[in-house]
Structure 1
């Protein structure tokens, strides 16, 4: 509805418009009157006026002054001028100041009503446009606020093979999500691996802190001037994606930023983190590159809080044995990378790598010392791979087989021995390959046997020969809860049985489950069960 103000110093002309015209068929809620410009200004100050019909020539201030005021103070208000002068200059000046229409006196009421009808339509059109723009701005703000989540979902879809095949459509998708990439550009992934929390966290708090770590990664690793995103993939791995090309200088700077990030995580978030830096890949190949980084993470059990550069080769990146030499100046093979190939089932590729490495040693004239270093590195590789798959080391190789390798005198002899043991180890891993549920069962058994201890993730990871960060993700994925929450739940279940089946003091039960502070135990018990330990015993004990 519209509020209209009519201004005229002639009372009969004023009443003729406000009362002599039937306005009922127009959406006009109120009609205000003013017999002077000062009175009109007061009405404008006190009311939200949408339309003004005003005479130009009035004693004192004129209609033109009123129009200038309206233009400055109420630019959305429309004005229709009435005048007894037919001079073009009046009309020209009025139109220049934004007058909607100019009407000569004496006023034809039907003509004026038709002009008002058009003005009201214009007002409603403006209101609709304004409402649309406000709605659009609301959703634009919501879109902007949700954009990080939408970008995360886009990359999750991309890593699941859901990218558009057409370069033109892919370019449109990039533009939609404000991703500064062209269809042929590459993306460099950095896997963020949380190895240990120094503070006790439940599952919810751990997820909150992982979100905080991703925010910090966006600030430190991507940087304010960089282009990229910190997100979580569908396997709940935290990672950074850096957009565009990455030359040698940029990669060196990236490694430095990763080290800064690790230090910041230790200092501000009380956790140990490693960064696994991949190589630039097309978005369609991101899943494969991320899997390579995940294998590096699983294999890295000896180098916490490290920056692992996948472009250097896994063993060199993690600071492993390949940094040394095989005697006589020959570099040792990348045994950690070979372990990844073995555990990934790429046996044919590994056989080629072994044969090539020993052929090079032969060409370079490797001596006895070099062969022995190869022997010990290779045996360690086999044992580590077997242990990570749950195969006891004693069952893998016989003493005779070990002695045969140690007695090899030439690279050809060492090659034949290594390939035989590789085939045997691969067969053993296939025979004894443990699936995720078996690993989870082993973890749960380990926890149940040690409910009286203050168990940590690192201790459990060592018991099952897994990387701590990988172990946490695996457990959460398979069980739907964090390892910390499972331990707490298992202890509370044990406490419930002891409360109902024994008359032990509640404080002794708490201590026997590794809780040195009774108040913490009581608070946790009530959080899980909804009642205090005392009330639970009263309700359920039958002794």
Structure 2
């Protein structure tokens, strides 16, 4: 009979689970409870736990954190997550691909029984790993902390890449080691996410990605472990039990099944790179070569690469004539340019000729073409395409063909949409006028106004004068003096305050400009209009009927 531990910070939920299932009937002889992560750790220290039912969110330590602790110390324990958050349906599906389950509260007891039965089967299977060699069994059963740290030190060259140095480090850490052990490295790289995720969601997805990789990629191998040496990177170390090396065709099939599941359940694409068999001290160099293969892969975001598979050969760049594309963009024929760009990339992919250097050159030339068209149209490229989304897309554009095309579609779309809006230049002029009115009290320049509408200052000046008959500076001055005149006429605000209100810090300069355009200084202008208002008031009083 097996032992089951229920971990939940809600006593009623714990009691409901404990009393709602006939545990003896499914092979559970002992049901233990804990109301938080710390209590659960105490239970593990006292009693072997075969299956743990764990709430994923608790106030003093999440279920994910508790599971990491359990895996490090009790790797055979099987875990089932419980939660009341229905918005994590995708996480439920994702984790079901791995060795765990994910149940939504309130939990149907039939579903709970089925999940526990599944966990017990897996527990019994892992308990029967008696045919392994001494070393192979050790790699599997003691991977979480000690061995994983050992491997990461090898990959990062913290342990020198010599057999003697590795043996010495293994002895110092009390890890059984043989220089005859041979492993096959498998690099799994997340190539793209299909959507933006919060940090919390991404952590759950990354955890589920790892669990499903252990289930789908490694289940057919007698020994091995899965490492996470870097963000969006996993390295499976397969073999090591002294038998024949890994069956590459079966491993390829496992990787393909895993890659097919990733878009559906994890909203991402992954690529898998299988390395050459190597001894432990050679694995650091093997890992470096696999990372290099990923860096050189600009063609495929979801593919299994076998050892020694021919990569695209570097050849003289054969770039398209983008002068024609520039003419098409100036004429607004964006679809023809996009089709041409997609056709070129597709041709290079089919020919196996797309290299990082060729893709980089293509992206740079295309960027130059877009910037040239923007310059001709008077649009400032760094203003229009300097936002966060545009910058992030461009930063990824040389990583793969798909990333390059995503950036091209974005850049062309944004540039052409804005260029089209310029054809209705009054709208741009109105934007400039509105900006001026909103900043009359600030020290703004022609450059500031042009930047607001993403235009070259000279181009905006031409468009503005064509539609208003005034230069920007004359219009700005007129607006300021009109406001000053209204304030002088209708308020008792000091003249210095009026000057400050319309952006003049220098009172003398304001007085000179006001007199030049209004034929009177500010004080004289106020007196005239005050006298005029007094005369009007007297006139209205004399015209009123007497009682």
Question: What range describes the TM-score normalised by the shorter chain of this pair?
Answer: 0.3 to 0.5
Q: TM-score, normalised by structure 2?
A: 0.34
Is the radius of gyration larger for structure 1 or structure 2? Answer: 1
